[in-house]
């Protein structure tokens, strides 16, 4: 769990920020749960929680723009707090933490959806568990694709069982 490292992360930001308007202090916990209980980033107002993937996306989602500050976004993913980052099994790749276990193959090798690195729960109620034929999915396909006349699972279970 990345939570024990929060004070270390925020301490290093406090030392490096200087006179910037961004306020990363050890006592400020920027981790929050955004929509669908996904990992989020807490804005300066201590109320607004934005999804991790909206940090450093070139759109100011926090009122003061702290989610787009140079100190935070200047050397990604190294400049991001660790809890916002999920490292794929290929060390050259990373995705935002809220993209882990979202049903989509964001890493390109499914390491964000399957295996011990991701530690994802079984497919949710809106998903069908199978070996997908599409690169886009890893171990589940959206149930809305079931019985649509198109093979989405290697076993065709999405057309005959789902």
pLDDT in tens, 96-143: 999 999 999 999 999 999 988 899 999 888 999 999 888 789 999 999
Task: Write down the pLDDT at residue 43.
Answer: 96
Any residues with CB less than 8 A from the CB of 107 and at least 6 apart, and which? Answer: 88, 89, 90, 93, 95, 113
Parse the chain into domains and list their residue ranges: 3-86
Q: Quick check: 130 and 142 in contact, CB under 8 A?
A: no
pTM score, whole prediction: 0.74
Question: Would you tell me how many other CB atoms lie within 10 Å of the CB of residue 11?
Answer: 13
Cα separation, 64 vs 58, whole angstroms:
14
């Amino acid at each position: 769990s990345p939570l024990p490292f929060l004070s270390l992360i925020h301490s290093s930001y406090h030392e490096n920020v200087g006179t910037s308007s961004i306020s990363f202090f050890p006592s400020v916990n920027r981790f929050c749960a955004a929509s669908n209980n996904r990992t989020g980033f807490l804005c300066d107002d201590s109320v607004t929680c934005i999804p991790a993937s909206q940090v450093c996306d070139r759109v100011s989602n926090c009122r003061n723009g702290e989610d787009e500050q140079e100190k935070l976004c200047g050397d990604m993913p190294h400049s991001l707090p660790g809890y916002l980052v999920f490292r794929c099994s290929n060390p050259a790749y990373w995705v935002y933490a809220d993209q882990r276990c979202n049903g989509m193959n964001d890493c390109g090798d499914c390491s964000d959806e399957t295996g011990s690195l991701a530690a994802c729960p079984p497919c949710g109620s809106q998903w069908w568990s199978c070996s997908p034929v599409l690169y886009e999915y890893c171990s589940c396909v959206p149930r809305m694709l079931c019985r649509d006349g198109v093979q989405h699972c290697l076993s065709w279970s999405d057309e005959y069982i789902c």
